[in-house]
Amino acid sequence: MSPHLQIYRPQLTAITSILTRITGNALIVGVILAVWWLLAAATSAEYFAVANAVATGWFGDLVFTGSAWAVWYHLLAGLRHLYFDAGHGLDVPTAEKLGWGCIIGSVVLTAITILLVQ
């Protein structure tokens, strides 16, 4: 193993950038499940029963909860990026604080969303 891999510490700004890309792509799973559910509702009662069982079961709960977090994270990361594009917050301490703000803020907003939906 290369010595630099033993001492390298991933930077928060790199991790949040990667998470932004992952959440953007992961939202496709939630959209596919929602579209399948809607198409099943338009197809037949029997087919809708199957799609509804999946969408309202543990798998659907997992996908839609993950999608809620991904939407909030992607939104906050996008706002952070707009702030960066305006030339603000580019110093390392501010960028790290904004990164933690995206992570913590998305978790808090997801919890609030779940509480409001139930």
Express each pLDDT in 27-78 by its tens digit: 999 999 999 999 999 999 999 999 999 999 999 999 999 999 999 999 999 9
CA angle, 109 as apex, 20 and 82 as ends, to 5°? 45
Q: How confident is the model at residue 20 (pLDDT cuts 50, 70, 90)?
A: very high
DSSP 118: -
The candidate with the shortest Cα–Cα distance to 29, out of 1, 66, 4, is 66
Q: What pLDDT sits at residue 8?
A: 76
CATH number of this structure's domain 11-27+54-117: 1.20.1300.10
